[in-house]
Amino acid sequence: MRIGVEQHACCSCAQPPLHGEAGRIRGKLGWILSAAYAGVGRAASQPLADREHAVGGDRSWTPALEEMYQFFSVLLSPRPDGQPRLPPLRISTIRHSRPPVVVYSDAMFRRLRSDTCELWRDARGRPFSRVAFIAFIPGRRRPIVSRLVLPDWVYLHLSADAFTLIQQAELIAAVGAYRTLAGALREEAVIHFIDNAGALSNLIHGYARRPDCGRLVNAFHLLLAELGARAWLEWIPSKANCSDLPSRDDDMALLDALEAGFVNGFDEIDFSLPPIESWSAPLALFAAL
C-alpha cells in the first residue's frame, strides 16, 4: 500500500492522480485502515476524495496531497525496531484497569501594535499567543500545568493571510500536551477537553483544509498512534475550561486562583514544542517524539 501511495508522489517519474486513480487509492487505504487502531489516518485521505470529485482533469500536486503523502509515508513505515508503526485495532471486552487521564488544553491569541519584532512586521500587529494545558493523571496527587508563550518563529510557519491564528494555537496546545506527557500517556485512555469548536472538529475528523492546520492535525494523530493512546475528544465551554487560566496573561492573581482551586496545588512543567528545525522539515521529523 505504501508503494501505491509513493507512486503518486510529486516527482519526475510519476504524475499526481486523476479522478479514477485517486478513488482507487482512497478505497484501498480505507480498507486497510478500517482495521487500524482507532481508525487512525482514515480522514487524512480527504485530499484524494477532493481530487476524485473535482471538476476537470487537474493533475497538480497540491500542498494537501503532499501533507497526505508525508502522513502515510510515516504511518505505513516500520519502526526502528522493525515492528509495524500502524497499530492494530483492539476492542476490549473488559473495563480498562485504570481511570482515564483527563486533559484540558487551551490557547489565547491577539495582535500587538508593535514594530519591535524583526521576524514579523505586519500592519495588523504582531501576533502573540500563549498555549497551555492541565492534566489530571491517575496516581498523582497534584495535577500537571504547562504553558508557553509561542516564540516569534512559530508564526513564520502559520498562515500569513489569516488575521487570527487562534485555531492554529489551539492545535499547537493539543499537540504539545501529548508531546509533553508522552511518558504518562502511553497505552492510556484519555479524555481531552477543548473549548475551540474549529480545532476540536479538525482533531476529531483528522483533517483540516488549511495546510498549517492539516500538518498539526496529522502530527496529532501520528502521536496518538505512536503512544497507543485512546483519546476521547470533547467540547467544553470556555468558562468551564480550567486551562483557560494559565493560557491568559502573566497575572499572578490568575495563578493564585488556579492554585486555590486545587486542594494539593499543582506541578508546573515545561511545555514541549516540536523543535524549530522540524517545522520546515518532513512530517516524520515534525511529529517525532
pLDDT at 180: 97
Task: Please indicate, yes or no, if residue 90 is contained in any of the structural domains.
Answer: no
Residue 31 shares a structural domain with residue 132: no
Burial of 65 by CB count in 10 Å (0-12 exposed, 13-18 middle, 19+ buried)? buried
What pLDDT score does 38 carry? 59
Which of 86, 20, 87 lies closest to 53 in space, CA to CA?
20
Q: Are strands 267-268 and 126-136 parallel, antiparallel or unpaired?
A: unpaired
Question: Is the domain of 110 the same as that of 152?
Answer: yes
Q: Are residues 155 and 278 in the same domain?
A: yes
CATH number at residue 277: 3.30.420.10
pLDDT score at 253: 58
**Which parts of the chain register pLDDT below 70?**
1-19, 34-43, 55-58, 86-92, 114-124, 249-263
Sign of the torsion angle spanned by Cα atoms 202, 205, 206, 208: negative
Torsion of CA 153, 158, 161, 164, to 10 degrees: -90
Residues 153 and 268 grouped into a single domain: yes
67 and 140 share a domain? Answer: no
Identify the three-state secondary structure at position 68.
helix
Can you give the pLDDT at residue 260?
Answer: 66
d(CA 206, CA 96): 25
Verify that 41 and 159 share a domain, yes or no.
no
Of 57, 75, 93, which one is at a domain's C-terminal end? 75
Report the number of distinct structural domains present in the chain: 2
Question: Model confidence over 237-256: pLDDT tens digits?
Answer: 998 998 888 888 655 656 66
Q: Does 112 map to a domain?
A: yes
pLDDT digits (tens, 9 = 90+) for 103-142: 999 999 988 876 555 444 455 678 899 999 999 999 988 8
> Residue 241: inside a domain, yes or no?
yes
Q: First and final CA of the chain: distance in angstroms?
A: 25
Is residue 161 located within the same domain as residue 248? yes
Which pLDDT score, from 0 to 100, does residue 132 have?
95
Classify residue 83: in a domain, yes or no: no
> Which pLDDT score, from 0 to 100, does residue 12 have?
31
In this prediction, residue 90 carries a pLDDT of 66
> pTM above the 0.75 mark?
yes
Domain holding 49, by residue range, is: 2-75
C-alpha cell at 85: 508503526
Let me know the angle formed at the C-alpha of 219 by 246 and 286, rounded to the nearest 5 degrees.
95
Residues 63 and 112 in one domain: no
- pLDDT recorded at residue 206: 82
Residue 88 is assigned to a structural domain of this protein: no
- At 218, list the grid cell: 496529522
Q: Could you tell me if 19 and 70 lie in one domain?
A: yes
Backbone angles phi, psi at 232, to 5 degrees: -105, 120
Same domain, 37 and 123: no
Q: State the pLDDT at residue 73.
A: 82
Residue that has been written with the C-alpha cell 523543535 in this structure:
275
